[in-house]
Structure 1
């Protein structure tokens, strides 16, 4: 009878040990599952916050861009309609002065006409820079061609331009792409000392591709980036806010290559 009690006690102990082990295993599994789910929820929350921040930044960028471009349009129209018209009237008045055949007035009038003509040209140039000519009416391809023609008119740079089908692109992205190329071309004229530029713009798999290359003097990209070069930051920031990517390839005396990819909404 005593032996039977001992066996029963041993069985109860084994049952307790096994039951305790199972309980500890279940408890440990529950803690692990809880931690995994908690970390997953925290990661999802972090991603949702980042997405909201990105969306907010995009909305801010688009709103700021629209406000800036709206102000540029107003200034461009004011320059063209008011300042340009006033200068044209002044030129007519000076022309009447020179028509009187008074030597002193003819000499002064010629100088005034030259000054007014230069001012009119500058007003037109500033107006066109503020408001990309033909961008809204005829699209990005037309505006890019006009931009390249301006560069050709003021420099000896040979530009090879290849533009694909750029239809059905929003005005916001068209304008951003135009400003990106404008920044690159201005840099080529002012700093790069380039004699040749190649530009390729096209749509590919719902992505707008901008490929730029010049044979200028290039630069140390790491050093320029650390110095927070305004041109580089402008290009990178504009592209990033559009969920795009920018790749720079350059080194001293090796020119500059830039590849920009901007996703297009369906």
Structure 2
């Protein structure tokens, strides 16, 4: 009996040591899990801060670009447009004072045509730079104006559908307007389309902008790898809305674009 006591103490020591080791291992595992959770939370906060900073930089850049557009549009309208109008008046006065002749009439007619064409171009560029009626009359009116301009410039039909009573924040209004403008400009420059369908509708708690044309289409992967300026503009403006954009196109099959975002 005297010899069995040390053996019992050894078992107790082994059991106690094993238990302490297990508790230590559990403590280390718990510490690592908590530490990893804290690191993950910190990384998430950093990413959110980076995203917020990037978003703020994008918005500031957008505001700066729009301010510059407004300045150029005002200069075109107030200075260049006024100068051209004054030239036309002077030309009209010149024809009244100078003795008329066939050559002078022909030259005067050519001058008037060039001046009038330039005035129209200045007005069109100014309208492109500065959204007409967006702030005063709303997004629907401004988009309708874009569609009418496209139909006036090219032999294309634009079918527009907009959700009734559509109201968005000022910045979102401008981003959607520029996005639609980019889509329509690309259609005029590259698509050779004759029919365009455009809609901006509510679906549950989101807004969906859909664009489709019957143009010549293109190889999307190739265009994207070549960093197509038009595609990048559309993608960037969708990101500004914190939305998702999807492209569907192939050669000879037209183009379809869908942008989904929360207002």
Query: Normalization by structure 2: what TM-score?
Result: 0.94
Q: Cα distance, 1:29 vs. partner?
A: 0.7
Match of 2:172 in 1: 173
Match of 1:17 in 2: 14
Alignment of 1:1-266 (within 5 A): 3=1, 5-100=2-97, 101-103=99-101, 104-165=103-164, 167-264=166-263
> Higher mean Cα deviation, 60-69 or 236-245?
236-245
Distance 2:219 2:229 in 1: 15
> Higher mean Cα deviation, 123-132 or 83-92?
83-92
Distance 1:250 1:12 in 2: 80
Residues 98 and 110 in structure 1, CA contact (< 8 A), matched pair in contact too: no
Q: Cα distance, 1:246 vs. partner?
A: 0.6
Distance 1:40 1:166 in 2: 45
Number of matched pairs: 261
Q: Cα distance, 1:195 vs. partner?
A: 1.5
Gaps of 5+ in 2: none
Give SS of 2:198's match: strand
Give SS of 2:3's match: helix
Distance 1:179 1:249 in 2: 20
Distance 1:105 1:253 in 2: 51
> Higher mean Cα deviation, 93-102 or 23-32?
93-102
> Higher mean Cα deviation, 204-213 or 25-34?
204-213
The CA RMSD measured in Å over matched residues stands at 1.5
